[in-house]
Homo-oligomer: A and B are copies of this chain.
Amino acid sequence: MSGEAEGPGSGEDRLIARHFRPLARHPAAFGLADDAAAFPPPAGCDLVLKTDPIIAGVHFLADESGDAVARKALRVNLSDLAAKGAQPAGFLLALALPGDIGEAWLTAFAAALGEDAEAFGCPLLGGDTDRTPGPLTVSITAFGTLPHGTMVRRNGARPGDRVVVTGTIGDAALGLRLRRDPGLAARWTLDPTMAAHLVARYRIPQPRNAVAELVRRHASGAMDISDGFAGDLAKLTRASGVRAEIDLRRLPLSPGARAALAAEPGLLATIVGGGDDYEILCTLAPAEVAAFSTAAAAADVLVTEVGVIAAGDGPPSYSGDNGRLQELERPSYSHF
């Protein structure tokens, strides 16, 4: 992404200058006036690198606002940095815009992106804009820093570790269904606040960067929950060569999710198998749980112990649901 400071320039230059230069105040970005960013990494740190694009009609609804798209595009990447224990350092933005995206949408997009970049300490450093004949696609590559060799891996869970999640599980999957069919709110006995909360959880994730350093200090294994709790847990335990035993009665549910589940018990599969939670799933040695939980609470992040890691291979086992969940080996979302 490079846009000229003034002068004639192209339409792309003007678009970048108008909407994105105001976000690019970090010196590494050169005001988006050059061809690349030059970032000086802190001594002794690894760069944690992640790219997770979002596509209209795939990762967000095609009529979504510029504000929500911007926040989701950045936050799905921030969520990965948090789960790996990294502090955000910056991001690159590649924007593929269909012809029907206009100035008002872009203005809202850039304003929200700037707010989130500021709030999460993750400045825009560069990028690219193109027109596309296809759907709106926002490709963000985020990078973070942490002390060399300390990225929290998927493969570190050990028998005896506790399984812990941040926030509440299943809200976004329910929110997506509500967004598509608002009539479900009545069937699920949701009051308007509950319904709005679930939809908001789908539209705009709340990445847990506030506890990234705690994850790095205390967790044996971690990943963010983007493709569903059950599926992502299965990935973590497979990578670690262990099993997990989960007590579903301990799964943290928001009031809306709890009400919906009471009205329609079959929603348990949606709650544990649906995607877009963007919470952190991590494993902790028993001696680490208290310190982690106390510090997370001080950072205003709910953490809940939902199970334990056991020796041996195999899919996670679930108790506390009266046998309702039988097929949780591969319920997570996959594009293929």
Contacts and interface: CB of A to CB of B under 8 A. Distances in A.
A80 B37 CA distance: 11
A122 B148 CA distance: 21
24 contacts: A8-B330, A10-B332, A34-B154, A35-B84, A35-B154, A38-B49, A39-B46, A40-B46, A40-B47, A41-B46, A49-B90, A52-B94, A53-B94, A53-B128, A53-B139, A55-B133, A57-B133, A58-B133, A129-B335, A131-B336, A133-B135, A134-B134, A134-B137, A141-B141
Given A36-B48, A137-B132, A10 B41 contact: no
Contacts of A149: 38
Interface in A3-25: 4-5, 7-15
Interface string A230-265: 010001001100000000000000000000000000
A200 interface: no
A224 interface: yes
A80 B57 CA distance: 32
8 interchain residue pairs of minimum CB distance: A134-B134, A11-B336, A10-B334, A141-B141, A38-B151, A41-B41, A36-B50, A38-B46
A125 interface: yes
A71 interface: no
Given A9-B235, A36-B80, A39-B48, 10 more contacts: A34-B239, A36-B81, A37-B47, A39-B47, A41-B41, A49-B125, A50-B126, A51-B93, A132-B137, A134-B134
Interface of A: 2, 4-5, 7-15, 28, 30, 33-41, 43, 45-53, 55, 57-59, 80-81, 83-84, 86, 90, 92-94, 96, 125-135, 137, 139, 141, 143, 146, 148-149, 151, 153-155, 223-224, 227, 231, 235, 238-239, 329-330, 332, 334-336
A132 B131 contact: no
Contact of A137 (B9, B14, B137, B334): B137
A330 B12 CA distance: 12
